């Protein structure tokens, strides 16, 4: 999707939940770089500023943490119709969004055909293999005055509802 298409899909969604579908190339172990493996994820986001999420806001107000700052690889923040985007120093455009922590629905593809996770697990970097459930990740993140968050390359966004 383009910046304009994303902004249009999210008009009038401020502080509301939405579903997002992302499809990207999987991170593969070096010996398997010749394979074409992709991951399609469907999950919920909320259109709001990260610093306004409850655990973050409360931790800032209580002095437990400082206000969030941009990651060092981000060159600029810009808006399209009120929706925030980041441009990286690498030229990539990202859609930064807090996520809800609800279970993510994932489908793996090998050569554009859906496959069970166990069929491709051995090819993936360990960063692709979940170590905790979404609920466990959400709880441990909020305990630290943080909220779940993704910055997605807009080129990987397939659909927003």
Q: At residue 156, does pLDDT exceed 90?
A: yes
pLDDT at 112: 96
Query: In terms of residue numbers, what domain contains 11?
Result: 3-160
Q: At residue 73, does pLDDT exceed 80?
A: yes
Whether the full predicted model's pTM is greater than 0.75, yes or no, is: yes
61-65, 103-107, 139-143, range with the lowest pLDDT: 139-143
**b/e map of 106-138 (b: 16 or more CB within 10 Å)?**
eebbbeeeeeeeeebeebbeeebeeeeebeeeb
pLDDT at 135: 62
Q: Which one-letter DSSP state was computed for residue 135? A: H
Q: How confident is the model at residue 81 (pLDDT cuts 50, 70, 90)?
A: very high
pLDDT digits (tens, 9 = 90+) for 36-59: 999 999 999 988 888 888 888 888
The count of structural domains within the chain is 1
44-53, 101-110, 137-146, 150-159, range with the lowest pLDDT: 137-146
pLDDT at 142: 67
pLDDT at 100: 82
Angle at 23 between CA 22 and CA 29, to 5 degrees: 125
For residue 97, how many other CB atoms are within 10 A of its CB? 21
């Amino acid at each position: 999707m383009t910046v304009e298409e994303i902004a249009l899909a999210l008009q009038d969604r401020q502080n509301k939940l939405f579903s997002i579908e992302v499809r990207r190339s999987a991170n593969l172990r070096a010996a398997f770089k010749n394979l074409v493996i992709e991951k399609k994820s469907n999950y919920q986001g909320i259109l709001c500023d990260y610093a306004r999420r409850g655990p973050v806001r409360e931790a800032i107000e209580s002095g437990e943490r400082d206000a969030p700052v941009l990651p060092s690889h981000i060159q600029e923040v810009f808006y399209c119709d009120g929706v925030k985007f980041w441009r990286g120093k690498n030229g990539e455009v990202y859609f930064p969004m807090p996520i809800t922590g609800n279970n993510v629905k994932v489908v793996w593809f090998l050569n554009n055909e859906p496959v069970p996770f166990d069929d491709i697990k051995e090819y993936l970097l360990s960063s692709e293999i979940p170590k905790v459930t979404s609920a466990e990740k959400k709880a441990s993140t909020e305990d630290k005055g943080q909220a779940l968050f993704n910055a997605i390359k807009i080129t990987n966004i397939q659909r927003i509802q």
